[in-house]
Amino acid sequence: MDRAHEYALRLFLAWLNERYGRSFALSGRAGDAWQAEDRPDRLAAASADLSEGDAAWEARRGEIEARLDAARPGSYLLWLPPGASLPAGEPDESEWVRRAVLAASRLASGRKGEVRLPVKMLLAKVRDEGGYANVSGGLSRHWTTITDRMRGSFFLDSSALRRFTRNEEEREQLFEHIRLLSQGLETGGSVEFEHEDAWTVQRLPRGAAAEGMSDGWAITGCPPGFDPADGAAVRRLLRARLSAAASTLKGSGEAARVLVLVGAYDYIENENAGPALRGFDPSLAAAFDVIALVADGEVKPLLVSRSLRLTREAAGG
């Protein structure tokens, strides 16, 4: 189990503690099974990726993590959005690391930010008639907002943008910038303009892990070539992860059994693991008291057993 899995568990525990007023912390592990305690209650937990990456990706990730560790010590988790890739070499690598460290340096314990990376987009005017924007890439979900501002028909290539910032003011500024650019275009003309990708980075909260737990940078999210929108692939992986985690946590005694899935989504609201889980035979999830998804720095419960009492009062603490 790598550092990213441990960090996902720690984020889940931080969410659990805040929501239910508890103080669970990782207390150790045996193989791939972790233990967390808030006496007298215990959790037995496993974590697994809801994505697949190859050996080359894993090796490159380790190299970049080591360089980030050297540049800025601390417990940080960096999320790669779908379609994103790590820098291939110099000079891009040094600039990439500089930007990641700059974003991390602004974070207090338990907080999130965005690593800003420069990208280029292209706006082209197709014809004078109509009021429509055909948008590809990272802004495609916002095509109606962009279309509403257009006079004429346009094509917007935002394929270099992997994750659009969550900052609403910055979003509005970009939409207005695109509108102004469109007004200066003649039919058949195009203009290239710059913007910034926004990858989520977070600093792990203090107090979520016991002494001896990991420290350093971890990179997770979406490996190159994996498509988290592919429902068939997600369902296949989810079945495999449920089966493997059930075996891992078998024999955990009276401890509540928890599976934390690490998602590959750009925003957690775009996850399709929850709908996939609800479509399965319920017996596949019967081995767990809690199944949670961690993606893009956020935690979402997918299943919480009705018999589980998580508040201290309900648990009899």
Q: What is the pLDDT along the chain (317 residues), one digit of tens a residue?
A: 489 999 999 999 999 999 999 999 998 888 889 999 998 899 999 999 999 999 999 999 999 999 999 999 999 999 999 999 999 888 999 999 999 999 999 999 999 999 999 999 999 999 999 889 999 999 999 999 999 999 999 999 999 999 999 999 999 999 999 999 999 999 999 999 999 999 999 999 875 444 557 789 999 999 999 999 999 999 999 999 999 999 999 988 889 999 999 999 999 999 999 999 999 988 899 999 999 999 999 999 999 988 777 765 555 54
Q: Is residue 310 part of a domain?
A: yes
- The DSSP code sequence of 232-295 is HHHHHHHHHHHHHHHHHHTT-TTSEEEEEEE---SSGGG--HHHHHHTS-GGGGTT-SEEEEEE
Instruction: Examine the domain organization and report whether 218 and 311 are in the same domain.
Output: yes
Q: How many domains is the chain partitioned into structurally?
A: 2
Let me know if residue 11 belongs to a domain.
yes
Are residues 213 and 294 both part of a single domain?
yes
**Residue 74 and residue 130 share a domain:** no
Same domain, 167 and 301: no
pLDDT for 28 equals: 87
Last residue of a domain, one of 157, 176, 195: 195
- Residue appearing with tokens 């974070």: 107
Residue with token string 């059994």: 257
Question: For residues 257 and 307, what is the distance between their CA atoms, to the nearest angstrom?
Answer: 12
210 with 311, same domain: the answer is yes
Same domain, 220 and 302: yes
The rounded distance, in Å, linking the Cα atoms of 90 and 97 is: 11
Residue 153 and residue 286 share a domain: no
Say if residue 304 is in the same domain as residue 171: no
The residue from 195, 226, 254 where one domain ends is: 195
Q: Please tell me the number of Cα atoms within 13 Å of 175 on its side-chain side.
A: 21
Where is the domain boundary, 195, 212, 229? Answer: 195
Structural domain contains residue 82: yes
The pLDDT, as a whole number, for residue 317 is 47
Q: How many helices (H) and strands (E) does the chain have?
A: 8, 12
Closest CA to 235 of 186, 277, 264: 277
Please, are residues 156 and 135 in contact by the beta-carbon 8 Å criterion? Answer: yes
Cα separation, 95 vs 110, in Å, equals 25
pLDDT at res. 166: 95
| In-domain check, residue 174 | yes
Domain shared by 88 and 227, yes or no: yes
Question: Which pLDDT belongs to residue 312?
Answer: 59
192 three-class SS: strand
Taking the C-alpha atoms of residue 123 and residue 127, their distance in angstroms, rounded to an integer, is 13
Same domain, 286 and 158: no
Quick check: is 115 in a domain?
A: no
Q: Which domain holds residue 244?
A: 3-110+204-315
